[in-house]
Chain A
Amino acid sequence: MLDRTKAPEASMLSPRPLPGFKTVALSNGTPVHLLQYGSVEVAEIQVVFRTGTAYQDKIGQARYTASNMGEATASFNNQQLAERLDDYGAWISNDTAQEFISMNLTSLDRHLPHTLPLLQEVLMAPAFPEEEFNNMKTRNLQRLQVESKRKSYLARRQFGHLLFGPDNPYGAHLGPDELQQLELADIKAFYQKHLQAGNWFITVVGKFDEEKVLKQLDELLGKQQLEDKSGLISRAVTATDLLGQGRHLIHEEGMQSALCVGHIGFNRKHPDFDGMSFVNTLLGGFFGSRLMKNIREDKGYTYGIRSAWVSGKHKGYMIISSEVGNEYAESAVEEIRKEMNKLRTELCTEDELNLVKNYMLGSSISQRETPFQMGSLIRFAIIQELSFDALNQKHPKILSLTSHDVLRLANHHFQPDNLLEVICGNPV
């Protein structure tokens, strides 16, 4: 007789090392990181610049430079460029973060001879037509005006302003007013100063013909003289932080209130980073977290609540966010504080400890499934100055954590009495 009450045996998972990637240099010294990954004959090529929102003089400058580069080039106007890409079923996209801007080409391997030259055009010869810039600005202003009706957006923006300050790269937030100030000249200047050969590296991940790709990359991006861009400094290093605390209410009519609650943390280099990423998962980082169990499943205050322990290259912070019925806003914040305190005063059980460990190791398999995910991981490691060997330490470290470690980490790094609490809505 089948005993359905008994779970099939679940053993502890073992860490799986990341696959090593290969690094070569183009003729001009540009580093190229290559990884064969996946069974679909598609490749993603990222050209990553060591710049980003932390390097801009005006809010929006970095992001809009990246997106305008892909609009039109010396040889192709917007429509021609879009049609060329469509002809080969390829995409050029961009990612802008605090510490990098990445221009990405996604293409079937067999089409690379036709698509890679388009990426080169976008990188080397963007045309920055005035009309395209103005249209994009108008469209996005309207989009941001709609966003400004969303309570979660307003709360998140205010949270950044109060914790770090609106001029700090960690607190800056592009809103309608900031976008209004942005001019085409800002974009052109940022491009000239930051998005140049020499300030970059390349990643190629997928299933591709390595010899052909390297030869083509060398022809297209390996001949330019590299400029010395080592003098560019991240503002995140020099900015001061406001460290706001206490309750801040933004009054907006509606049925729910958006909450953003948190405080300052530490950067990626801190020895407790992996430990706190575990503690954060336990608190609010997954569906079975304590906050989800308490505030969603037990109380029914919300559809979802999550916490994040964010560690950037230079600074870090904790943020807990949720949207709750107006009548529950006060109690939800109270419960958040209780859950943080509980982690600081009570040992978690062995069962919960093992559950979160296995959850984190298991879900990492899905986070490393596609070539696109691996490309982002290589990019992350290089920008953060972490080797894959160092990243491979994360899981063994997490597996070694004890309930006493968790207590110590929570005690040391959670500050439930110094919380910044932003509530946007009509709480009662």
Chain B
Amino acid sequence: MSKIDFQHFTLDNGLKVVVHEDHSVPKAVVDVIYRVGSKDEEPHRTGFAHLFEHLMFRGSKNIPSYDSPLQRAGGQNNAFTTADVTNYYLSIPSDMLETGFWLESDRMLELALTQESLDKEKGVVIEEFKQRYLNQPYGDAHLHLRGLHFQKHPYHWPTIGKEMSHISDATLEDVKEFFYGYYAPNNATLIVAGDVSYEQVRSLAEKWFGPIPSRNLKKHALPQEPPQTEARSLTVHGDVPFPAVYKMFHIPPHNERGYYIADIITDILANGRNARLFRRLVREQQLASSISAYPWMMHDPGALSLDGRIAANSSIEAYEAALQAEIDDLQNLTESDLNRIKTKLEAIFMLNQTTILNKAMGLALSDALGDIDLVNTTPEIYQSITLEEVKNTAKHIFDPSNCSTLYYLPAEK
């Protein structure tokens, strides 16, 4: 399999810069990842990291509008916030690369925050909260489930925030404090990929990012999640046509081998039409109309989700009994079942390499996780996982005392 070749260097202010050359199309990607996410928020002021991501587009110290100059140069951008990181990325014709450096460095230097821009952006985020979580069937399921699954760790609340009032109450001072505590060259990595050269990136990085001072980062120890010792459950009602069952299990953090084993287990269970739960519970026994399983990419010990929507003529009891039978049946997994998953994962890695943005983001997320080489070693980790490891890990993860369940039921009329 082809590797993603990259070089890197670090500026005096602590900013790590990674360069990946790919000259197949005349485009460059500039990705800045900050090691700050919703886990860094305080319990009574949640949703901040994400609100802040929005504010980063409201203009910086020397540039009143972020988007327009980028669009004028033929570029486009977006960003996302997770519990662990905030990632900003832009694509731009490679001739215009310097515009990307100019924009990203100025907003790392200082934002132009005003009460007015804060108030407007709060409105947008509140509408996002409604559109994505509150005004959709089952949209708030994970809002409830996370709180049940993580009781001590700040993964307890979702990235959008625990409640809308935390966003509407945010003050300008809160927001500024957040910026200086976390947005700093020594808390970020810059990835430049595509039709660029190492020398060019080196000189542009020194020119635009070099003068930004390193900052004293806000350091705080996160409360760690104690081991779960008994099964938990919660029932909620909403305007939905069918009951649904959401389960979460504790798994190791993203940079540990156990995470990758958990990922393979979710592929065996629910990824693709050959996956066991889909084939047996959805197609053959028709106990559920859809099932999905996936690990959450978290830097601290995280979660594996198993979400099922109950079929019209089925019941929660029948679904849960069949689910348990399938979990038990993982102990009968064969080498050829496992090899099939590995072949598929190899193809997925190759397909992911068809865009520069995917490669840049892979570098960014791996580096934020603490090991940039993961971008290339991940396929090898998957290939090295043994049948015994899968069976043992499955036994451990799916222990009933390791599980939190949310029952989402149609509202009684």
Report A's interface with B, CB cutoff 8 A: 2, 4-5, 7-8, 10-11, 13, 16, 38-42, 78-79, 82-83, 85-90, 106, 108, 135, 138-139, 142-143, 145-146, 148-151, 253-256, 286-288, 296-304, 323-325, 351, 354-356, 358-359, 361-363, 365-366, 368-372
Contact = CB atoms under 8 A, between A and B. Distances in A.
Interface stretch (B293-301, B339-347, B360-368): B339-347
A227 to B, nearest CB: 31
A42 B127 CA distance: 41
Given A143-B289, A297-B120, A88 B71 contact: no
A234 to B, nearest CB: 32
A89 B135 contact: no
B73 A358 contact: yes
Contacts of A301: 123, 127
B272 A86 contact: yes
Contact of B350 (A5, A8, A42, A79): A42
A368 B291 CA distance: 34
B213 interface: no
Contacts of A142: 241-242, 289, 309, 311-312
Given A86-B274, A143-B289, A300 B99 contact: no
Interface stretch (B42-50, B62-70, B215-223, B315-323): B62-70
A106 to B, nearest CB: 7
A135 B282 CA distance: 9
A8 B127 contact: no
Contacts of B279: 79, 82
Interface string B261-298: 00000000000111000010011001001100000000
B67 A150 contact: no
Contact of B68 (A16, A79, A253, A288): A288
B229 interface: no
Contacts of A365: 25-27, 74, 91, 93
Contact of A146 (B67, B98, B121, B137): B137
Nearest to A355: B72
Given A323-B135, A365-B93, A83 B73 contact: no
A135 B281 CA distance: 12
B137 A150 contact: yes
B343 A88 contact: yes
Given A297-B120, A300-B120, A368-B25, A40 B71 contact: no
Given A362-B92, A365-B26, A370-B355, A256 B76 contact: no
A318 to B, nearest CB: 22
Nearest to A136: B283
Contacts of B290: 139, 143
B234 interface: no
Contacts of A7: 63, 69, 72-73, 99, 102
A39 B341 CA distance: 24
Given A145-B241, A302-B127, A365-B93, A359 B74 contact: yes
Nearest to B351: A42
Contacts of A79: 274, 279
A288 B340 contact: no
Contacts of B343: 86-89
A40 B350 contact: yes
A366 B355 CA distance: 9
B73 A149 contact: no
**Interface core residue of A16, A139, A143, A150 (most chain B CB under 10 Å):** A139
A286 B24 contact: no
B240 interface: yes
A363 B74 contact: yes
A138 B27 contact: no
B131 interface: yes
A287 B76 contact: yes
A85 B341 CA distance: 11
B95 interface: yes
B71 to A, nearest CB: 4
A93 B261 CA distance: 28
Contacts of A296: 124
Contact of A256 (B96, B121, B135, B282): B135
A13 B340 contact: no
Contacts of B68: 288, 355
9 contacts: A4-B62, A78-B273, A86-B340, A138-B311, A142-B289, A146-B309, A255-B130, A303-B131, A366-B27
B331 to A, nearest CB: 21
A288 B286 CA distance: 46
Nearest to B109: A4
**Interface core residue of B77, B211, B340 (most chain A CB under 10 Å):** B340
Given A5-B62, A138-B312, A369-B355, A354 B72 contact: yes
A193 B146 CA distance: 51
B241 A149 contact: yes
Given A4-B106, A366-B76, A256 B131 contact: yes
A42 B354 contact: yes
B289 A300 contact: no
B273 A362 contact: no
B163 to A, nearest CB: 14
B120 A11 contact: no
Contact of A90 (B77, B282, B347, B356): B347
B91 A370 contact: no
Nearest to B211: A2
Nearest to A107: B347
Contacts of B67: 287-288
Nearest to A356: B71
Nearest to B312: A142
Given A4-B63, A149-B240, A288-B71, A135 B283 contact: yes
Contacts of A323: 127, 130-131, 135
Contacts of B121: 300
A146 B240 CA distance: 7
Interface in B88-139: 91-93, 95-96, 98-99, 101-102, 105-106, 109, 119-128, 130-132, 134-138
B274 A369 contact: no
A38 B354 contact: yes
Contacts of B74: 10, 13, 358-359, 361-363, 365
Contacts of B122: 300
A299 B125 CA distance: 12
B353 interface: yes
B27 A302 contact: no
Contacts of A300: 119-124, 126-127
A135 B211 CA distance: 63
Contacts of B396: none
A358 B101 CA distance: 18
B395 interface: no
The 3 A-B pairs of least Cβ separation, nearest first, read A362-B74, A300-B123, A89-B347
B25 A369 contact: yes
**Interface core residue of B73, B101, B309 (most chain A CB under 10 Å):** B73
A149 B353 CA distance: 37
A146 B241 CA distance: 6
B158 interface: no
Contacts of B312: 138, 142
Given A142-B309, A358-B71, A366-B91, 4 more contacts: A79-B279, A149-B240, A151-B135, A359-B75
Contacts of B132: 303
**Interface core residue of B69, B102, B131 (most chain A CB under 10 Å):** B131
Contact of B353 (A40, A325, A358): A40
